[in-house]
Amino acid sequence: MNEPPNRKPPVRRPIKRKKVVKTVVPAKTPLGKGRKAAKPFPTREQIAEFLKSRDDTVGKREIARAFHITGDDRVRLKQLLQDMAEEGQLEKRRGRRMRAPGAAALPNVAVLRIVAIDSDGEALAQPVRWEDEEPPPRIAMAAEGRGQGALAVGDRVLARLQQDEDGGWTGRTMRRLENQADIRVVGVFRRGRDGQGRIVPADKRARDTWPVREGDTGGAKDGELVEALVEASDRLGPRRTVVSARYGDADDPRSISLIAIHAAGIPTEFRPKALAQAEAAEPAALGNRVDLRQIPLVTIDGADARDFDDAVWAEPDPDHPGGWHLIVAIADVAHYVPSGSPLDRDAFERGNSCYFPDRVVPMLPEALSNGLCSLRPNEDRACLAADLWIDQHGRLVRHRFRRGLMRSAARLTYEQVQAARDGQPDELTGPLLEPVIAPLYGAYEALLAAREKRGTLELDLPERKVNLGEDGRVASIGVRPRLDSHKLIEEFMIAANVAAAETLSDKSLPALYRVHDQPDRVRVESLKEFLEPLGYTLALGQVMRPRVFGQILARAVGRPEEPMVNEMVLRAQAQAIYSPDNLGHFGLALPRYAHFTSPIRRYADLTVHRGLIRLLHLGTDGATEEELSRLEEIGAHISVTERRAAQAERDAVDRYLASWLSDRIGAILPGRIGGVAKFGLFVKLDESGADGLVPISTLPDDYYDHDEAAHALVGRRWNRVFRLGARVRARVTEADPLTGSTVFALVDAGHGADVEGLPPLPGPDRRGPPRIGMRSGPRSGRKPGSGPPRGPRR
């Protein structure tokens, strides 16, 4: 977690009794030392030179300080930097940082952390500090000098870096750093024949096991899932490993989610004070709240949902023919979780709830998340309601926020509402069809028209759903349906989020926005290289808008390359974050956007609620000055916890899929090539969506070039092509539920696997010298890694 910046007041020195003059220490700038009374606004060339002079990335504030930019000129600087980014004069990096275009992703010397040891005993490292939006590069460490012990996972070194011709990185140790950090390991405790205890890591990237001394086992039994602390050590030899927690039999199906939870470091226990505060909470009284209990608000959620954040209702707007009055009532979590309270501290630490196939790790204790805050049917609940008035074109014409007391008329599921809309109501939805459900669809259709006019980014990426049996094992795997009822709720939530963002922005109250920046030029250029051979045009000179990508996606519908076009467009997008600097939401084509509608499960929404309460004088439990001063820190922290939760959820699903496939070793299943790397192919199965590695060693004997632009492996001798998106049949050869890794072998690989209808790739004599190549054979494979690249979250 980032510490809040220390803000010191400017130095003031009295010159005379009646006059005080502010002295400012001059900043070092590319314009020369010292500072004159007034500095001209920097040109693009001066900013570009400043970026080139820096070995690291810089932020907007650093540029402003360097050029003495203050006041309204900061807005002008922000626009200039945005223009420079769009025109390729600078590159945006993670955390709102920037650097000169084409600058090396790594400096010549950096502090590295050893993250894995490969099958050949080579240490692989990553930079300790990494601000790029892309995953950090893996750095192959050169062999240690004579007399030096081998590097171990967790070691930190100061290393000299060199980029290879193929784009990879090599590191040479200059000095081992003494202040190594302790590391946590989650894995299975095993005893060898000699009685020696060891921990087999659950991380598929780990290569080594960790020895455990007899006195450090914590009573762990063979086959138990454990968590251990590998202590820092400056001595050569194994580091001390101490078992710190035991989680039961590793073969128990319930262990699958536990591995993901504890490996990610997600807190699972609430502190006693937070639990006591939640248990002592009482239902809110009407008091000064607006009484909404006579309005038939309904919740619409998944069949397995237990916490209900939002309820909705709509009616025709008599003041705007064809328009609608919509109420989106959200659980009033701020009433129960005051800023700075024990509950607030625990909620902030978690950042969000995490959802797994067999459990939920909630942001708030169940007494609130499933109890007093949840909008359960026929129970009085405190809410913060957004009244939205939209015209016939779906435009938001006005809005207001009120604290109320509501009573949900029904708990509905997406499937129920969709069936009622399609003419098949049940006992619950039948009486609600005309007075409640029909107006909701009327308002939705208006909002949908506005969405289509904006030209939002619509990606068709099916979401996997793991269904468990009573024994906790995988019963079936499917794809979550995408119904109009899902889209209805999504549009209502977006409208309420926009209203919240506009209210906070119009009054200039500091707030956390949901920011989705434009894709940077490097990613767009990579997408252009991929699309051109397929016959698609992507002009780099135009202003990138969601509609540009939407036109590409629309053209791909129904064509063989549709899945891979969707995947590549996703990879080109920036990652959405939380920030007090509002840059709009690119994917939704909205200039102002915040998260307001899910305060039970997202801390960002809770901060927005508090901001609205403070701004609109809706109570004394709004945002505090201290909280508003920490918004940048809060946004950075919950952006990290969001990614942490998403990764843990994916890891758990991967392990469940591996468990399911472990009973199908030898089965031949249809799928597509979903990723291409120099060491092999990643195949995504049709039925389950499981990803598995096809090692290059299992492909027909040849020397394969990795054509990065075409996302293909091409054999030099026989010109076999294995291209992204190609249909294949894969045999399951390995599946490890502990790590979640799966390995496939292609059936009928002798003819390659290309996408039907695409132009053939050039033969080996016309491709020129290969940039990256590997030979298939017994030493060319590798242990399954982390899978194909994944796109950013929106």
Do residue 402 and residue 475 come from a single domain? yes
- Whole-number pLDDT of residue 559: 85
Angstrom distances, CA of residue 607 to CA of 5, 282, 646: 20, 22, 21
Residue 493 lies in a domain: yes
For the stretch 13-55, pLDDT in tens is 333 333 333 333 333 444 333 444 456 888 888 898 888 777 6
What CATH number does the domain containing 217 carry? 2.40.50.700
Do residue 718 and residue 685 come from a single domain? yes
What CATH number does the domain containing 697 carry? 2.40.50.140
Contact by Cβ (8 Å): 250, 273: no
Residue 604 lies in a domain: yes
Position 788 pLDDT exceeds 90? no
Work out the average pLDDT over 749-758: 81
Do residue 593 and residue 697 come from a single domain? no
Distance CA 221, CA 188 (A): 9
- What residues contact 532, with CB distance under 8 A and at least 6 apart? 538
Angstrom distances, CA of residue 329 to CA of 379, 402, 404, 580: 14, 9, 8, 25
- Whole-number pLDDT of residue 648: 94
Position 75 pLDDT exceeds 90? no
For the stretch 762-775, pLDDT in tens is 765 544 444 445 65
Listed residues 251, 284, 305: the one ending a domain: 251
Distance CA 151, CA 123 (A): 7
Q: Could you tell me which residue, 168 or 403, shows the higher pLDDT?
A: 403
Task: Output phi, psi for 485, to 5 deg.
Answer: -65, -35
Contact by Cβ (8 Å): 320, 389: yes
Instruction: Read off the tokens for 382.
Output: 């405190």
- Whole-number pLDDT of residue 39: 65
Listed residues 545, 573, 601: the one ending a domain: 573
- Whole-number pLDDT of residue 239: 77
Kind of pairing between the strands at 169-176 and 139-141: parallel
- Whole-number pLDDT of residue 770: 43
Domain that holds residue 551: 518-573
Instruction: Read off the tokens for 765.
Output: 């004599």
pLDDT > 90: percent of the chain: 51
Q: Which helix (H) or strand (E) holds 682?
A: strand 680-685
In this structure, what DSSP letter does residue 576 have? P
Position 102 pLDDT exceeds 70? no
Do residue 94 and residue 21 come from a single domain? yes
Nearest Cα to Cα of residue 107 among 63, 139, 143, 85: 139
Position 309 pLDDT exceeds 50? yes
Distance CA 69, CA 79 (A): 13
- Whole-number pLDDT of residue 233: 64
Instruction: Read off the tokens for 598.
Output: 């899910």
Distance CA 376, CA 311 (A): 10
Contact by Cβ (8 Å): 161, 109: yes
- The DSSP annotation for 606-621 comes to HHHHHHHHHHTT--S-
Least confident of 85-94, 170-179, 496-505, 701-710: 85-94
For the stretch 576-620, pLDDT in tens is 999 999 989 999 999 999 999 999 999 999 999 999 999 999 999
Contact by Cβ (8 Å): 322, 446: yes
Residue 391 lies in a domain: yes
Do residue 640 and residue 529 come from a single domain? no
- Residue 786, Cβ neighbours under 10 Å: how many? 17
Nearest Cα to Cα of residue 534 among 758, 754, 749: 758
- What residues contact 600, with CB distance under 8 A and at least 6 apart? 307, 309, 331, 333, 353, 362, 363, 364, 368, 369, 373, 374
Average pLDDT value over all residues in the chain? 85
Distance CA 701, CA 110 (A): 39
Position 425 pLDDT exceeds 90? yes
pLDDT band at 631 (very low <50, low <70, confident <90, very high): very high
Do residue 286 and residue 165 come from a single domain? no
Do residue 506 and residue 526 come from a single domain? no
Contact by Cβ (8 Å): 500, 596: yes
Listed residues 161, 176, 191: the one ending a domain: 176
- What residues contact 640, with CB distance under 8 A and at least 6 apart? 351
Q: Could you tell me which residue, 263 or 328, shows the higher pLDDT?
A: 328
Residue 18's SS3 state is coil
- Whole-number pLDDT of residue 277: 97
For the stretch 530-580, pLDDT in tens is 888 888 888 887 778 899 998 999 999 888 888 889 888 998 898 899 999
pLDDT band at 353 (very low <50, low <70, confident <90, very high): very high
Least confident of 182-191, 419-428, 460-469, 761-770: 761-770
Residue 216 lies in a domain: yes
Distance CA 213, CA 624 (A): 50
Do residue 63 and residue 155 come from a single domain? no
- Whole-number pLDDT of residue 34: 40
Do residue 630 and residue 493 come from a single domain? yes
Distance CA 581, CA 123 (A): 40
> b vs e for 54-66, b when ≥16 Cβ sit within 10 Å of the residue's Cβ?
eeebbebebbbeb
Do residue 219 and residue 280 come from a single domain? no
Do residue 314 and residue 232 come from a single domain? no
Identity of the residue numbered 256: I
pLDDT band at 344 (very low <50, low <70, confident <90, very high): very high
Nearest Cα to Cα of residue 324 among 393, 384, 383: 393
Residue 637's SS3 state is helix
Q: Could you tell me which residue, 790 or 399, shows the higher pLDDT?
A: 399
Residue 785 lies in a domain: no
Residue 735 lies in a domain: yes
Do residue 384 and residue 528 come from a single domain? no
Distance CA 157, CA 110 (A): 8
pLDDT band at 376 (very low <50, low <70, confident <90, very high): very high
Residue 16 lies in a domain: yes
Nearest Cα to Cα of residue 355 among 64, 4, 601: 601
pTM of the model: 0.75
Nearest Cα to Cα of residue 168 among 223, 110, 105: 105
Residue 781 lies in a domain: no
Q: Which helix (H) or strand (E) holds 200?
A: strand 197-201
Identity of the residue numbered 171: G
Task: Output phi, psi for 353, to 5 deg.
Answer: -80, 155
254-258-260-265 Cα dihedral, nearest 10 degrees? 170
Domain count of the fold of the chain: 6
Task: Report which listed range, 114-118, 499-503, 650-654, is most confident.
Answer: 499-503
Chain centroid to Cα 516, Å, comes to 12
